[in-house]
Amino acid sequence: MKNNFNNIPLSILDLAVVLAEKTPLQTFKNSVALAQKAESLDYKRFWLSEHHNMPHIVSSATSILIGHIAEHTKKIRVGSGGIMLPNHAPLIIAEQFGTLATLFPGRIDLGLGRAPGTDQLTAKALQRNDQAAYEFPNTVLELQEYLSIENSDAAVRAIPGEGLDIPIWILGSSTDSARLAASLGLPYAFASHFAPQQLMQALAIYRTNFKPSQYLKEPYVLACVNVTAAETSEEASALATSMEKVFLGILTNNRKPLQPADPNFRVPEEAKQVMQQFLHYAFVGDPSEIKSQLEDFVAETNVDELMVVSHIYDFEARLKSYEIIKEAQQ
């Protein structure tokens, strides 16, 4: 079945980025306000991602933040995009998300990733052993077992968690994750907002090798993209300079809080080619341009759901961008 932009769910990824001259507390307040706005606009999901040892990203205690967002909303699904499973014992995650799903039934998603979400030194401080990333497929199975009703006779049980309806997603930015999601019959979320190179190959592998399971009968793909929308192209281009500075900081290892828009900013010539690769799926424009770009993306990829992340410094402009994206479906 061919999907189109007008009929697929829209969701939001919030990286909980600290703004220049602002505090982590303000970031959390903005996350709540954004989730409430997303709910009012009928976005389907609001996901948060696990990062560590990054002074300007404050989603390290991901499960706690998910609970905070869920507490301040009523119906939108809230989850992890994702929990970096090599950093945790599967039993702990089963208990944490079992608790969340008990408090907020039918609203919690558990997205799982293989990467540490940090630098190597911090990963070593977090991980239980050096082989944790290589054991990811087995730890996913272990986590599934803890959450299954069949585990009720086991010596070690996840209470709460056991037997609850907590959808598990496999997250990835490579073909390895696609093969794992396909083999387990789980929904697949691809991080094309920062790793676009293998998107099409990964989607083909996932769909070709998908094995129906008790969780999912047919392949289901979500892709995340960068979007900066505004009433005019000029305003959108100016707002997008904050996003460009984020990715330039990653390239140059000079990371800073999210900076205000700067219409005079230009990506240095020596970084343009790499930046274009990074931002291959970064869509910037006025309402008609955004509609056209997102329609083309969905037509190209045939994704079942689209997730959006927006690096916009001005919070009201960020909210407006999500309004424009949603209105583009009408």
- Residue 38 inside a domain? The answer is yes
Tens of pLDDT, residues 192-215: 998 899 999 999 999 999 999 999
What sign for the dihedral angle of Cα 214, 219, 142, 91?
negative
- Residue 255 inside a domain? The answer is no
Please provide the DSSP assignment of 193-220 as one string. Answer: TT--TTHHHHHHHHHHH----SS-SS--
Instruction: List the chain pLDDT tens, one digit each, 330 residues.
Output: 789 999 999 999 999 999 999 999 999 999 999 999 999 999 999 999 998 888 899 999 999 999 999 999 999 999 999 999 999 999 999 999 999 999 999 999 999 999 866 667 777 776 667 777 789 999 999 999 999 999 999 999 999 999 999 999 999 999 999 999 999 999 999 999 988 999 999 999 999 999 999 999 999 999 999 999 999 999 999 999 999 999 888 888 888 899 999 999 988 888 888 888 889 999 999 999 999 999 999 999 999 999 999 999 999 999 999 999 999 998
Amino acid, res. 109: D
Give the burial string for 63-101 (b: 16+ CB within 10 Å, else e): bebbbbbbeebeebbbbbbbbbbbbbebbebbbbbbbbb
- Residue 307 inside a domain? The answer is yes
The domain in which residue 95 lies consists of 5-226+299-327
Q: What CATH number should be reported for the domain holding residue 57? A: 3.20.20.30
- Residue 81 inside a domain? The answer is yes
> Is residue 183 within 8 Å of 140, Cβ to Cβ?
no
What pTM did the predictor assign? 0.95
Rounded CA-CA distance 129/59 in Å is 23
The total number of structural domains in the chain stands at: 1
Helix axis angle, 90-103 to 62-71, nearest 10°: 10
- Residue 231 inside a domain? The answer is no
- Residue 75 inside a domain? The answer is yes
Nearest Cα to 237, choosing from 266, 257, 259?
Answer: 266
- Residue 269 inside a domain? The answer is no
- Residue 286 inside a domain? The answer is no
**C-alpha angle with apex 127: 122 to 128, nearest 5 degrees?**
150
SS3 label, residue 265: coil
Tens of pLDDT, residues 288-328: 999 999 999 999 999 999 999 999 999 999 999 999 999 99
